[in-house]
Amino acid sequence: MNELCILQDDVPPVPNQVAFAIIEEELGQPLERLFSKISSETIAAASLGQVYRATLRETGEDVAIKVQRPGIEPIIYRDLFLFRTLASFLNGISLQKLGCNAELIVDEFSEKLLEELDYTLEATNIEDFLENFKDDPTVKIPQVYKQLSGSRVLVMEWIDGIRCTNPQAIKEAGIDVEGFLTVGVSAALRQLLEFGLFHGGPHPGNIFAMRDGRIAYVDFGNVAVLSQQNKQILIDAVVHAVNEDYAEMANDFTRLGFLASGTDVAPIIPALEAIWQNSAGKGLADFNFWSVTGKFNQLVYNYPIRIPERFSLVIRSLLTQEGICLTLKPDFKFLEVAYPYVAKRLLTDPNPALRERLIQIQAYYLNEQQQRHQQYYQSLFQEQVVYSYRVLPQVVEDRR
């Protein structure tokens, strides 16, 4: 968790005069005409840009100004070209040994990274998230000022909350930690299962705890988009995992693009079973994504599996959010909190196929409970038989 924060935030900023010149060039006006105040130091600095706090002259509202690093675009293009060249050189080995296309992996990564260089796309992403969560009182998405934004500058509402990089401050502020984490899990699941638009970079510095218990997100340059079909396949995979149907689970991997079409899934089925049994053997309440991901990484080297870029963002996001939960509350049960939302989502969805999936999960649990009861009564009956066979004759003999 700490290393991830360092990678994201601990980057030396460019000098103010350079950054301010970019803002003025992008917006076409002097800073003092637009802002009555702007911080002399950066609030955050990352590899692609840095952030200042400012006050709008016209309205007095506090805003965050995100400005792109000068000259970063040609550097990114150069590095991506070198990666692509290396991928072309290694592609034959990658296809033969790992069953994955190295060029395709680099291309998918490049596409997402280049999107982050255009702040107008991020502004659109913010508007989409605002629309999705407009009726949710537990989630705060900052307003974006598109008239004060461009391809290299983004101005948005200032979020006055506590970063999840500072768990002690969250607790000292009197925020209900468990309530806040429950809100966060629900918000993440809505993005994944309801909207199909998922925050792809929720490292602890991008998630804030508001003092009223709401969760707030910033930095929308990297988002994952999931189709309705992919959302349904993901739910299928969960159902098959819960039902311990590993053959169908392997087929889900093919449908999601983790395996090439036509791949023989037979060798992968026992490996999936071993991973799931090991990780969820004590029950879903004790399941954690870190454990499963670590074991799943071994499959990537042993079988022809590749992780599509959109799902790598989803996996990274779930891992990060679970990490935040465990940092704030070490005994927090992610799936235990997630299950009621998933059940409600499946029950209320207008799609009958999703309701059918919930019935399958419930049927599994009912069958599991029935088996446990049957085993209990069978064991009890056997004990009574043994008692009758061994003990009663002796009791009768003693009474004689």
DSSP secondary structure letters along 367-388:
HHHHHHHHHHHHHHHHHHHHHH
Chain centroid offset of residue 254 CA: 21
Give pLDDT, residue 286. 63
State the average pLDDT over residues 287-313. 77
E strands within the chain? 35-38, 44-45, 49-56, 62-68, 139-140, 153-157, 162-163, 197-199, 207-209, 215-217, 223-225
pTM (2 decimals)?
Answer: 0.80
Count of beta carbons in the 10 Å neighbourhood of residue 28 = 8
Backbone angles phi, psi at 150, to 5 degrees: -155, -165
* Statement: residue 323 has pLDDT above 90: no
Mean pLDDT of the chain: 82
pLDDT in the model for residue 47: 83
pLDDT digits (tens, 9 = 90+) for 2-53: 443 444 445 688 999 999 999 999 999 999 999 999 999 999 888 899 999 9
pLDDT of amino acid 56: 98
Domain boundaries, the chain: 72-114, 161-384
Ramachandran angles phi, psi of 134, nearest 5°: -60, -30
For the residues 279-290, what does the mean pLDDT come to? Answer: 63
For 93-97, 259-263, 278-282, 330-334, which range has the lowest pLDDT when averaged over its residues?
278-282
pLDDT tens track for 47-104: 899 999 999 999 999 999 999 999 999 999 999 999 999 989 988 877 766 666 788 8
User: Taking the CB of residue 208, how many other CB atoms lie within 10 A of it?
Assistant: 23
Residue-wise pLDDT tens digits, 141-160: 999 999 999 999 999 999 99
| Backbone phi and psi for residue 300, each to the nearest 5 degrees, phi listed first | -60, -35
pLDDT, mean of residues 215-239: 87
- Percentage of the chain beyond pLDDT 90 is 40
Pick the most confident of 207-216, 247-256, 288-297: 207-216
What is the model's pLDDT at position 8? Answer: 46
pLDDT tier, 293 (very low <50, low <70, confident <90, very high otherwise): confident
Quick one: average pLDDT of 339-363? Answer: 67
Confidence tier at 122 by pLDDT (50, 70, 90): very high
Per the model's pLDDT, the better-predicted residue between 205 and 335 turns out to be 205
The pLDDT of residue 70 is 94
pLDDT of residue 154: 98
Pairing of strands 162-163, 139-140: unpaired
